[in-house]
Amino acid sequence: MKNLRKAKILVVDDEENIRKSLKMILEYEGYQFLEAGDGEEALSLIEETIDLDLVLLDIKLPGLDGLDILAEIKKRPYAPEVIMISGQGTIQTAVEATKLGAFEFLEKPLHRDRVLLSIRNALNQNTLRRECLDLRKKAEKRYEIVGNHPLMKQLWKDILKTAPTNATVLIHGESGTGKELIARAIHSHSLRAKEPFIQVNCAAIPEELIESELFGHEKGAFTGATERKVGKFEQADGGTIFLDEIADMSLKTQSKVLRVLEEGEIQRVGSSKVSKVDVRVIAATNKDLKKEIGEGKFRDDLFFRLNVVPVYSPALREKREDIPLLIDYFGRNFAEENNFKPRKFSAEAVAVMTKYAWKGNVRELRNVVERLLIMTEAEVIDKKDLPEQVGGGAKAQLPDAGEAKTLKDYRELAEKDFILAKLEKNNWNISQTAREIDTPRSNLYKKLAQYGIKITVGVGEAVAPSSPTEKKGEESPNSEGQDGR
């Protein structure tokens, strides 16, 4: 939180004595003091001053009126709080100033303690308001939809056409393609943007609890219902509810959702009272709902009611040209959020990642980028740093056949190379490597001794021991049960 003792305060008053008195009080308290004698000078200072926290503004000024200046201030992003002061205040003027966004209204003559208390309260309010704006901007950035592919441009056209209406939307696409981001974008561009956005993952809620979760329940409605609960539809009243994975909803619950869509009515579990709600419904699924209907798992009437505006969320393999853009976007965001030094991916690494078939789509890509930024120390992340499944990492290479005289020799060379590659991949951790190649640690130790493989210990190296217990810092091979093997 900003140090309130260093806050910048602008005093706007045409009486020089008032400005001098307030300067003495504010500078003694440690505040940074700025002053203006009329409205034009005040607006000029506000325009030039970075991080202005508070304005003490007289209502009666030569030229521009104090209320006009207040209205101008409140149009600006991150506007400072304003305390109005007047020697001829009326209730009507105070009400008008409050409507325009003034924090408080003080009458002259000003009293030191009252002024300082009002300033402290206004600065606290200003800090909290700015923190909320920052959090909202971060949240908006987190849910930003990124992409220049024609499919993404078409998606944005669909979003912007659909958002201003109250039409029900059904988003379909594979897991990890960003269906939630689409739902949030529709909400944020709608007339309901300032109202709640409530998300429900239908697949994550047990069937016996989903009705209570969606519609609420009365105290004593069932075992464990110790108090009254407001459901998600009521929480979303006036706003938007996003029903993710709607294909996993039971047929019984589907019929109740249909009633909300058709009548705008809900009924809490255990209650006979029917309540009205005004909610826009956006649903999403990664399943073929027509197939689900054919198998009797989804209501066709609910499908037609949801599918008023169908929106397709494209898979990552359909828009590969956006992968380099997404890698850069996720990298910059992660570095910013975690105070990491920004790093880049080499052209070779990006090329490999662009060719990879991302089964988990954008979600999988983001997770891989974040993991690489955490685990890789190099300034530039290269192909060799990528996970094996993506196309990087240490891989066992077949040995040169000319080095082996017999089939046994060739098998041993291949086995040695394989073990070395896996040790490298697992940072020379014996237990982890043994688990990955599905062999007991004792057997792996024997192989290390057999092939004379050296094990990295800290910053130095030690020759593989003839018996496992000679190696410091590693568990005995007789303690296999300790790691669950």
Considering the chain, tell me which residue range(s) the CATH 1.10.8.60 domain(s) occupy.
316-385
Q: What are phi and psi of 111, to 5 degrees?
A: -105, 130
CATH architecture of 401-483: Orthogonal Bundle (1.10)
What is the location of CATH 3.40.50.2300 in the chain? 4-139
Instruction: Tell me what pLDDT residue 465 has.
Output: 41
pLDDT at 477: 40
pLDDT value at residue 141: 67
Q: What gap in Å lies between CA 460 and CA 470, rounded to an integer?
A: 16
Q: What is the 3-state secondary structure (H, E, C) of the chain?
A: CCCHHHCEEEEECCCHHHHHHHHHHHHHCCCEEEEECCHHHHHHHHHHCCCCCEEEEECCCCCCCHHHHHHHHHCCCCCCEEEEEECCCCHHHHHHHHHCCCCEEEECCCCHHHHHHHHHHHHHHHHHHHHHHHHHHHHHHHCCCCCCCHHHHHHHHHHHHHCCCCCCEEEECCCCCCHHHHHHHHHHCCCCCCCCEEEEEHHHCCHHHHHHHHHCECCCCCCCCCCCECCHHHHCCCCEEEEECHHHCCHHHHHHHHHHHHHCEECCECCCCCEECCCEEEEEECCCHHHHHHCCCCCHHHHHHHCCEEEECCCHHHHHHHHHHHHHHHHHHHHHHCCCCCCEECHHHHHHHHHCCCCCHHHHHHHHHHHHHHHCCCCEECHHHCCCCCCCCCCCCCCCHHHCCCHHHHHHHHHHHHHHHHHHHCCCCHHHHHHHCCCCHHHHHHHHHHHCCEEEECCEEEECCCCHHHCCCCCCHHHHHHHCC
Residues of the chain with CATH 1.10.10.60: 401-483
The CATH classification number of 4-139 equals 3.40.50.2300
Segments of the chain scoring below 50 in pLDDT? 1-5, 394-396, 456-485
Threshold 0.75, pTM exceeds: no
Q: Which fold has domain 316-385?
A: Helicase, Ruva Protein; domain 3 (1.10.8)
For the 150-312 domain, the top CATH level (class) is alpha beta
Task: Please give the pLDDT value at position 132.
Answer: 78
Contact 241, 280 (CB under 8 A): yes
How far CA 429 is from CA of 136, 191, 363, 444, 458, in Å, comes to 43, 56, 29, 11, 11
Which CA distances in Å does 388 have to 99, 101, 320, 384?
Answer: 61, 58, 20, 9
By C-alpha distance, which of 187, 190, 284, 198 is closest to 233?
A: 198
How far apart, in whole angstroms, are the C-alpha atoms of residue 37 and residue 49? 16
Token pair recorded at residue 358: 């991302």
* pLDDT single digits (tens) 241-275: 999 999 999 999 999 999 999 999 998 888 888 89
Please tell me the predicted confidence (pLDDT) of residue 185.
95
What the block records as the tokens of 367 is: 């997770």
pLDDT of residue 485: 36
Task: CATH 3.40.50.300 in the chain: give the residue spans.
Answer: 150-312
